Amino acid sequence: MDLPREFEERMKKLLKEEYESFIKTYNEMKTQGLRVNTLKIDIDEFLKISHFKLNKVLWAEEGFYYKEEDKPGKNPYHEAGLYYIQEPSAMAVGTLLNPQPGDRVLDLCAAPGGKSTHIAAKLKGEGLLVANEIYPARSKILSQNIERMGIKNCIVTNESPQKLSMKFKNFFHRILVDAPCSGEGMFRKDPATCREWSLDNVSMCAQRQLDILEEAQKMLMPEGILVYSTCTFSHEENEGVIEKFLKKHPEFTIEEVKGFEGFSHGREDWILSEELSLRKTIRLWPHKLKGEGHFIAVLKKQDGEEGKIKNNRKKIDKKSLKYYYDFAKQYLQNPLEGYFILFGDQLYILPEGVPDLEKLKVVRPGLHLGIIKKNRFEPSHALALSLNYKEVKNNIFMDADSSEIIAYLKGESMYFDGKRGWNLVSVDGYAIGWCKIANNMLKNHYPKGLRWVGL
């Protein structure tokens, strides 16, 4: 692999006798993993129904390595949100953040959504997740992944850290800053990052990371946990950033992480620091475990005041919800209830505990129920993926290895004997989308942008 010469020289100087073991990993295959979505299926059940050749990821109970021939990205279970394809080392971040059901959690740099969806699974549908991404195109990808995994208690924002910190002062129990970085740990996974690497970029990233952390700490409540992570080996972006942050914020301390085989301690000696607590930070090396490069620091805020955020939202007039309740009465066992809001003609249920979102750019303000059109309600794909077949009156069941499910995912209509009207389509019992039945004809409502092509 053609690595930047300056990078090789730096790593040789820093790693010394470890360098040969490290550099050999670039001639090995990249690691590939998936994480079971426990919001939809328990781990044992997934292992029963999937035909993948899986091996356990030691630091994530939901995580598994897969084989290239499994091709999990083109599988109906993937479209049903039963798992998320995620690099194995990256799974350690959600494990160490360790959110608890009921927590308010912020993922500040969230796209494409691997860590956000991991957080949501650990919240078990309770509490609030704010998943933010500053770049609009990436925030839409993030929103799509939140939808696919059937997450109900998440809002997706497209804001700067500075704008969010003005709204959410001392609000969150846990915050993740998976900071944009020089990407050295991903060279093997994404060789394109090699061409973008430079020492100037390393320095620029380090300053940007400090700026992001400065805004993040304003949003953490007392006794809260802030996890800082990167996918780079650069000490300037890792131990160097944490050292500077701690000097400015002595109310934060580094929490020690124990019990994970293959994790290495931070390298305070690389930045000539006298701050020995930097050894409590975590490095994941590709020559010491089966994964790419990562750095993680678990920080705890010792003091401060808990924020108080007012909510001045007005409730929707029940008359505006008539067509939704008509749909729910006809097709759902029970209507989904909560704090309803309308974005134009799009109907959402906000997660509990969400403050006023005024003046924020919001991509997804909660669970998208559907669209209220003239004299009718049309359910969303997000609603389908948030349900299970027992919550719906009309169901179409397809097998994962059937020609019917492939035809459905390609957007085709077909003859099908089912109950007239809206039906939830499920693959092996797990919701994958909507269809409408009329005169034994299945009209396909799988979203056009998600349809399979070329199969």
Give dist(CA 307, CA 217) in Å, integer: 12
Contact by Cβ (8 Å): 34, 44: no
Indicate the SS3 state at residue 359.
coil
Looking at the chain, the number of H-run helices and the number of E-run strands are 14, 23
C-alpha closest to that of 60 among 38, 28, 27? 38
441 beta partners: 415, 438
Contacts of 45 (CB under 8 A, 6+ apart): none
Query: How many CA atoms lie less than 13 Å away from 258 in the CB half-sphere?
Result: 1
| 70: amino acid identity, one letter | D
Contact in structure between 26 and 293 (CB atoms under 8 Å): no
Coil/strand/helix, residue 50: coil
In sequence order, the 6+-apart residues with CB closer than 8 A to the CB of 351 are 127, 128, 129, 152, 153, 154, 155, 366, 367
Cβ contact 336:349 at 8 Å: yes
Catalytic-labelled residue, pool 154, 181, 205, 231:
231
222, 64 contact by CB (below 8 A): no
What gap in Å lies between CA 80 and CA 62, rounded to an integer? 17
Find the helix or strand (DSSP H, E) in which 369 lies.
Answer: strand 367-373
Distance CA(455)–CA(447), nearest Å, equals: 17
Residue at token pair 């909510």? 311
Report the alpha-carbon distance of residue 352 to residue 366 in Å, rounded.
10
Q: Is 181 assigned a catalytic role?
A: no
Concatenated DSSP letters of 81-140? TSEEE--GGGHHHHHHH---TT-EEEETT-TT-HHHHHHHHHHTT-SEEEEE-SSHHHHH
Q: Looking at residue 80, what DSSP letter applies?
A: T
Annotated binding residues for S-adenosyl-L-methionine, as ranges? 109-115, 133, 178
- Give me the active site residues, please: 231
